[in-house]
Structure 1
Amino acid sequence: MVIFPLFYFLPSTSSGIIEADRNLPEFRIHEDDGKTEDIRKVLSGKENLVYFGYLNCKTVCHGSLKKLKNFISKERGLRLVFVSLDPEKDTEERFEKYFSDLKVETKYIRLGSRGRAFELARLFGIMAFSSDKNGDIEHPDSVLWVNSQGRIKGLIFEFDKHWDQNPNELIKFISDKKEQKPQLN
Structure 2
Amino acid sequence: MSRITSWIALGLAAVLAALAGFWLARQLDSPDPQLTSGTWLPQPRELPEFQLVDHTGAPFTRESLRGHATLVFFGFTHCPDVCPATLAKLAQVKQAASMPQLRVLLVSVDPERDTPEALAAYVRAFDREFTGVTGDPQAVAQLTRSFGVATARTELPGGGYTVDHSAAVFLLDAQGRMVAVFTPPFEVARMAEDLQRAASRLGA
| TM-score (ref. length: structure 1) | 0.73
Residue aligned with 1:45, SS: coil
Instruction: Work out the percentage of aligned pairs sharing the same amino acid.
Output: 21
Rounded Cα–Cα distance in structure 1 between residues aligned with 2:196 and 2:70: 15
Residue aligned with 1:148, SS: coil
State the Cα distance separating 1:93 from its structure 2 match.
2.2
Q: 1:117 to 1:141 in 2, by over 3 A?
A: same
- Between the two proteins, the alignment pairs up a number of residues equal to 159
Whichever structure has more helix as a proportion of its residues is 2
**Mapped contact 2:52–2:133 kept (Cα < 8 A):** no
State the Cα distance separating 1:94 from its structure 2 match.
2.5
State the Cα distance separating 1:118 from its structure 2 match.
2.6
1:124 aligns to what?
Answer: 147
When the two chains are superposed, the root-mean-square deviation of aligned CA atoms in Å is 2.5
Give the aligned residue type for 1:109. V
| TM-score (ref. length: structure 2) | 0.67
Q: Deviations over 1:40-96 (max 9, x none)?
A: 212111111111111111231110011112222443221111101111222222222
Give the aligned residue type for 2:153. S
Residue aligned with 2:192, SS: helix
Q: Structure 2: give runs of 5+ residues left out of the alignment.
A: 1-34
Q: Deviations over 1:11-57 (max 9, x none)?
A: xxx93301123333223214435x6x6x4212111111111111111
Do residues 140 (structure 1) and 198 (structure 2) align?
A: no
Give the aligned residue type for 2:90. L
Residue aligned with 1:136, SS: strand
Match of 2:40 among 15, 19, 40: 19
Do residues 112 (structure 1) and 121 (structure 2) align?
A: no
Do residues 44 (structure 1) and 41 (structure 2) align?
A: no
- The structure with more radius of gyration: 2
Rounded Cα–Cα distance in structure 2 between residues aligned with 1:22 and 1:176: 15
**Mapped contact 1:118–1:129 kept (Cα < 8 A):** no
Give the aligned residue type for 1:51. F
Q: Structure 1: give runs of 5+ residues left out of the alignment.
A: 1-13, 180-185
